[in-house]
Structure 1
Amino acid sequence: MSHYPVPVAQKHLRHLEPGTWQHVNRHLVAKAIVEFSHEQILQPLLCDESDENSQFPHGQDWHSYLLISEDRRTRYHFLAYPMKLRHWHISESSIIRDCDGQLLDPDALSFIIDFKDALGIPEEKLPIYLDEISSTLYGAAYKRCHQSLSSRDLLKADYQQIEAAMTEGHPGFVANNGRIGFNVFDYESYTPETGSRFTLVWLAVHREHAHFASLSTLKYDSFIERELGAQRVAAYREQLQQQGLDPADYLFMPTHPWQWFNRLSIAFAADIAQRNIVYLGIGEDTYQAQQSIRTYFNHSDHDKCYVKTSLSILNMGFMRGLSPYYMAGTPAINEFLKALIMKDSLLGEKRFDILQEVASIGFTNSYYDAALKKDSPYKKMLSVLWRESPAKRIQQGERLMTMASFLHKDRDGVAMLPLMIKQSGLTTVEWLSCYFDAFLVPVVHCFYAYELVFMPHCENLIMVMDESNVPQRCIMKDIAEESAILDEDAEIPEHIARLKVQVPEDYKILGIFIDIFDGVFRHMSDILQSNDCCNEDIFWALVALSVKRYQHENQALKEKFHRYDFFTDSFKHSCLNRLQLKNNLQMVNLADPAGSITIADDLPNPVARYRTMSVAELQSFIQ
């Protein structure tokens, strides 16, 4: 007899009903057309010169387009207008799916099958990709049925309410909510959009197989006592003693309950039997999964650290493990970068900051380590890192908000960003100027001053806003795994040498062009233009103006500005979906990220036209 509660369908699957399913499929097909066309995987055919249909906003050059399936049986008609960066703004409601003369509702799984050869998915990986599409649709349906906060509600919501309310996942990836490995009960218990709270499993791991690392200011005993509490630490030590084990031989570490019960208790059975791993019990603090799913916010004590653990589910091109090898150097990398940022006067003026990953433990399974010489998810199944909480970083009158909220639309399609700007009391130009000053300028400066690059996509940025929702400053997170110094001559301590990464010279500035221009601003300018807040010419002129001002005030870096031209005519288009489609099990080799890049035709740079304009001329153009 099944141990799962019944009836399942009524309680856990009520979001899977025809109307909701129809809506989320139409949305995902529209997104697939946008992103696959953006990456030149698909080439929509122009059917007419223009469409002046009154149901669509005036002032845009709407056209009718067509995609024909590879077997020629299905035709997708839709209305759209092209934007900069080869972006498409598509009217979701206009999509018509004609299959052998029969009009059918758009279906995302059928769409992938219709164009599977063009998408280039290896045959053995196609079922996995379809599984990820199904999971993405499942999550979208859940969010549509269960998330009740509107974009207007989120203007005054707290940080974790906003975090749980995000619906889109990654704005560029089509299959962005895989979570392959979770069942329906795991989904409700552990995914970010449910806002569920859960406790972590605590283990004792033998020091012979595990490594603790921390900032130089932290020691294991005091740190773990702060996270667990003195009473719980004493109880765990006594528990080990009762089993005839010496507590001094062990480190205490948390892991995700799903990871323990579904992966570790079986895959690491030998280590458990040999007492290299000892199950201690369930912790007291409750946590909430963040958008990155394997990072958890402490709800019991907001000042305690985030916890990030290995989670062996397949999600968006990776099995979400954590490397014990990477964990060993993580706190030191964070300490080095924090010192670099703290001594920089411009970053200090902008109050740019990072959330340090202050401590880590990595456990090495000797069997998998001996058997597998190459990188493998099996080597990354039991690690943890602790990251500073942002709760202590805000002052009176400030609030935290994920930058993903700037691209958020609620279930009725209402975008949060225009409401935020309106509430601020500023004009769109004034608000965007504050935003670019808080976010873009510090990240650009890190690149030009130190060739330091982050992965500054929306989920990795925490915006600090004032009470009127005006951007004040930003805090970067996910540092050690997604940061690099590209300067080959930079002096970096040997123990954190992996921070220095070699990439071709013309790839270096792609961290700005791809992660910010293509990954964030492309979608933001679409939202602003489609909501009549700011046309894209003005948007990109404001981007140019913020960097023009920065460059004018930092002439000591003039040679770098020339070498890495922010206003170049075009830049390489590194394609995210192409990466995932090529290998949805390991999208990028972290040891050689540049070698993993998949390129389409160069993208015209939307700020190139402003290269010769002065600050004064740009200001005049914007006004």
Structure 2
Amino acid sequence: MPTSPTTRASATTNSPPTTNNATTTRPDTPDTPGDPTAPAPLFTPPELTPQLWTGAATRLLAKLLGEFAYEEIIEPVARTTGRGEAPGRYTLALDDGAPLTFAARRGAYGSWHVDPHSVERAGQPFRDPLRFLVLARRLLAIDGATLGHLVHELNATLVADVRIDGTALTSAQLADLDYADLEGHQTGHPWLILNKGRIGFSATDATRWAPESRTPSRLPWIAVSTSLAAYRGVPSLASPGRLYGCELDPATRDGFASALRSRGLDPDAYLYLPVHPWQWDEVLLPLYAAEIAGGAIVPLPTDGDARLPQQSIRTFLNTTRPDRHTVKLSLSILNTLVWRGLPTERTLAAPAVTAWMRGLYESDPFLRDECGVILLGEVASVTVTHPLYDHLPEVPYQYRELLGAIWREPLPARLAPGERARTLASLLHTDQQGRAFTAELVERSGLPAEVWLRRLFAALLPPLLRFLYRYGTVFSPHGENAVVVFDENDVPVRLAIKDFVDDVNISAQPLPEHQAMPQEVRDILLTEEPAFLIQLIHSGLFVGVFRFLAPLCQEQLDVPERTFWSLVRAEIQRHQARFPELQDRFETFDLLTPRIARLCLNRNRLHLDGYRDRADRPHAAVHGTVPNPLALPADGTSGT
């Protein structure tokens, strides 16, 4: 008998994988009485209302116009009237020749900030980003296949935005949330238009598993034969038993072992790892069917701990036991440019990368004692190969990232009494009343806005600059990977960093500090020439976060953008003055050049890769250059 969509979703999201036909009804869906073959009632999210949809669409269209203009996918021109140029008004001719007009303010790095309520066409308000794609498909130079998928992904992003709006809290309420709960209120990547597409998820899947649903779940575990699975850990977790001793209660470990023995299997020949229920149902059951049938993969029950999905969507924080590790799982959905699996080689190497990074930190008094930077290490991993796909390098990369887990150190245990942590991305949030989250924190701190910003930059930049200049090593400090730690007065005091194996790059120019790097780490970390290595800080932090934070500070804190960027530059110069012996490195890794390359994220989806399968993960596009707001003024002064 076929299962209904609701029954199917219930079985995969609220129960561990089982070998029988038992299902569990969704907690928020009443049991359907009567004929069990009757169709389940259709579910419509209550927040899908005209008012919320129009509000989300209006903001997303403005973001689309601004970011497409920044990447020069479109080129609006200053609007002119009979009296000359209309200040701040721009026009864009669509495919039928009828112009779209809007008001915008230009900002650092050549960015555009479009007024959401100013967009008009034929003298009428225009608020529809989906319609814009259709009216501008030739202007955007996108083919039919890409256009079809764009409409799909843009719709999914809008639905997620509407869900966030329908349950939105004020900035004052958000400031009282802890790190884990605050994550569920974020609106996603500020630069990428299609930032919550999650291709592969159904509407029910998104309702259950998206971070904005804020729904803790008990993840099922599986046991995998060591003929397929491999374990790696930092020295303190060198054996799987040490990890499981931290992560699983004795009764749970005994239950897992008993489940294997009941099948005539030896528990010592298996590794345990949690699995995302969606991944089990959609990917693992079809693609590992032979291994499941043969007992190489054995479904197990949940460990009983509730976990909450974070902004990266495949990462879960333990809310039952916050002292236990955060876990990152394979999830074969397409979201923000890539499939969200776990590459086998990088997953295997994650603990070795952590050990090397930690070694740099522990031997450096500046990082360790003065900055107090928190490195949230990826301390253990289990990788599971596929008997066929992992030996076929020409197949799409999503098929070589199907199953694995990475355990990351939990943040709460690393905080001092009174400290609070918030992702850097949260500082860009603005509530439904127009109040910026940053403005709320500044007010609570009691500090003048410029002083608060100096404290923010003093917390963020010195550890990043130390790793760059001293060790030729760069994190990608984007809004989700960089976590700001605040004191009890909501003043920024230090930085926490995560996601090493995916987002740490090293200089391709040989440095003495790299001679002791283990070969396993050298083989896996991406290398870039110095001129491009600094782009990770520019694109991840300055363009990807500060480009949006600066206008917020001007609008709500009365800190002019010019002042904002001069404060950033002053912090870089202060660090350089502190370490004059590294002068040659300041020149090699020059963050203050007059122009930098323009990295583009939206161009990748529209023009480079679209939605085609490829054997390797895509990278950001480069298109021209932009002026660097951190460059020294012509007179060589600091500009402050």
Instruction: Identify the residue that residue 600 of structure 1 maps to in structure 2.
Output: 623
Query: Is this contact kept in 2: 1:314–1:320, CA < 8 A?
Result: yes
User: 1:440 aligned to 431, 441, 461, which one?
Assistant: 461
Query: Is this contact kept in 1: 2:306–2:319, CA < 8 A?
Result: yes
Query: Is this contact kept in 2: 1:67–1:77, CA < 8 A?
Result: yes
User: 1:315 aligned to 335, 352, 361, which one?
Assistant: 335
Are residue 192 (structure 1) and residue 217 (structure 2) matched?
A: no
Instruction: Identify the residue that residue 399 of structure 2 maps to in structure 1.
Output: 378
Query: What secondary structure, in the 3-state scheme, does the structure 1 residue paired with 2:192 have?
Result: coil
The answer to which of 524-533 and 288-297 deviates more is 524-533
Counterparts of residues 454-603 of structure 1 (less than 5 Å) = 454-489=475-510, 490-491=514-515, 492-581=517-606, 582-585=608-611, 596-603=619-626
Shift of 1:590: 6.6
Query: Is this contact kept in 2: 1:97–1:106, CA < 8 A?
Result: no
Instruction: Identify the residue that residue 32 of structure 1 maps to in structure 2.
Output: 64
Instruction: Identify the residue that residue 139 of structure 1 maps to in structure 2.
Output: 160
Deviations 1:515-572 (A, max 9, x none): 1211111101011112242101100110111111111111011011122322211111
Shift of 1:470: 0.5
Instruction: Identify the residue that residue 76 of structure 2 maps to in structure 1.
Output: 44
Q: 1:526 to 1:194 in 2, by over 3 A?
A: same
Instruction: Identify the residue that residue 293 of structure 2 maps to in structure 1.
Output: 273
| Aligned residue identity for 2:562 | D
Shift of 1:92: 1.0
Query: Is this contact kept in 2: 1:317–1:586, CA < 8 A?
Result: no
Instruction: Identify the residue that residue 235 of structure 1 maps to in structure 2.
Output: 255
Shift of 1:321: 0.4
Q: 1:375 to 1:183 in 2, by over 3 A?
A: closer
CA distance in 2, matches of 1:457, 1:338: 20
Counterparts of residues 112-261 of structure 1 (less than 5 Å) = 112-147=133-168, 149-167=169-187, 169-218=188-237, 219-261=239-281
Fraction of identical pairs, as percent: 31
Deviations 1:157-204 (A, max 9, x none): 22122111112x101000100111212222121111111011112101
Shift of 1:3: 4.8
Indicate the RMSD between aligned Cα atoms, in angstroms: 2.3
The answer to which of 265-274 and 602-611 deviates more is 602-611
Shift of 1:443: 0.8
Are residue 82 (structure 1) and residue 84 (structure 2) matched?
A: no
Are residue 453 (structure 1) and residue 474 (structure 2) matched?
A: yes
Query: Is this contact kept in 2: 1:334–1:358, CA < 8 A?
Result: yes
Q: Which runs of no fewer than 5 residues in structure 1 stay unpaired?
A: 52-60
Q: Which runs of no fewer than 5 residues in structure 2 stay unpaired?
A: 7-28, 33-38
Query: Is this contact kept in 1: 2:501–2:525, CA < 8 A?
Result: no
Query: What secondary structure, in the 3-state scheme, does the structure 2 residue paired with 1:439 have?
Result: helix
CA distance in 1, matches of 2:614, 2:542: 21
Query: Is this contact kept in 1: 2:228–2:384, CA < 8 A?
Result: yes
Query: Is this contact kept in 2: 1:486–1:500, CA < 8 A?
Result: no
Counterparts of residues 331-370 of structure 1 (less than 5 Å) = 331-348=351-368, 349-370=370-391
CA distance in 1, matches of 2:518, 2:494: 30
TM-score, scaled relative to structure 2: 0.89
Query: Is this contact kept in 2: 1:368–1:378, CA < 8 A?
Result: yes
Shift of 1:304: 0.2
Shift of 1:480: 0.9
User: 2:350 aligned to 295, 313, 330, which one?
Assistant: 330
Q: How many residues align?
A: 600
Are residue 15 (structure 1) and residue 47 (structure 2) matched?
A: yes
CA distance in 1, matches of 2:258, 2:217: 25
Query: What secondary structure, in the 3-state scheme, does the structure 2 residue paired with 1:308 have?
Result: strand
CA distance in 2, matches of 1:157, 1:256: 26
Instruction: Identify the residue that residue 65 of structure 1 maps to in structure 2.
Output: 90
Q: 1:316 to 1:461 in 2, by over 3 A?
A: same
Query: Is this contact kept in 2: 1:487–1:500, CA < 8 A?
Result: no
Shift of 1:122: 4.4
Shift of 1:412: 2.6
Are residue 96 (structure 1) and residue 96 (structure 2) matched?
A: no
Query: Is this contact kept in 1: 2:424–2:479, CA < 8 A?
Result: yes
Q: 1:33 to 1:238 in 2, by over 3 A?
A: same
Shift of 1:396: 1.2
Query: Is this contact kept in 2: 1:214–1:359, CA < 8 A?
Result: yes
Deviations 1:112-170 (A, max 9, x none): 222233434444333222211011001011111123x2111112222122111112x10
Query: Is this contact kept in 2: 1:49–1:63, CA < 8 A?
Result: no
Query: Is this contact kept in 2: 1:317–1:587, CA < 8 A?
Result: no
Shift of 1:452: 0.5
Are residue 2 (structure 1) and residue 8 (structure 2) matched?
A: no
Query: Is this contact kept in 2: 1:485–1:499, CA < 8 A?
Result: no
The answer to which of 169-178 and 477-486 deviates more is 477-486
CA distance in 1, matches of 2:269, 2:41: 48
Query: What secondary structure, in the 3-state scheme, does the structure 2 residue paired with 1:602 have?
Result: strand
Query: Is this contact kept in 1: 2:475–2:537, CA < 8 A?
Result: no
CA distance in 1, matches of 2:236, 2:529: 37
Query: Is this contact kept in 1: 2:472–2:507, CA < 8 A?
Result: yes
| Aligned residue identity for 1:156 | D
Q: 1:445 to 1:379 in 2, by over 3 A?
A: same
Query: Is this contact kept in 2: 1:483–1:499, CA < 8 A?
Result: no
Q: 1:425 to 1:532 in 2, by over 3 A?
A: closer
Query: What secondary structure, in the 3-state scheme, does the structure 2 residue paired with 1:453 have?
Result: strand
CA distance in 2, matches of 1:290, 1:195: 9
Query: What secondary structure, in the 3-state scheme, does the structure 2 residue paired with 1:608 have?
Result: coil
| Aligned residue identity for 1:215 | V
| Aligned residue identity for 2:226 | R
| Aligned residue identity for 2:528 | V
CA distance in 1, matches of 2:96, 2:612: 30
Query: What secondary structure, in the 3-state scheme, does the structure 1 residue paired with 2:92 have?
Result: strand
Q: 1:97 to 1:9 in 2, by over 3 A?
A: farther
Query: What secondary structure, in the 3-state scheme, does the structure 2 residue paired with 1:32 have?
Result: helix
Shift of 1:610: 4.0
Query: Is this contact kept in 2: 1:573–1:601, CA < 8 A?
Result: yes
CA distance in 1, matches of 2:241, 2:526: 34
| Aligned residue identity for 1:160 | A
Q: 1:549 to 1:377 in 2, by over 3 A?
A: same
Query: What secondary structure, in the 3-state scheme, does the structure 1 residue paired with 2:592 have?
Result: coil
Query: What secondary structure, in the 3-state scheme, does the structure 2 residue paired with 1:286 have?
Result: strand
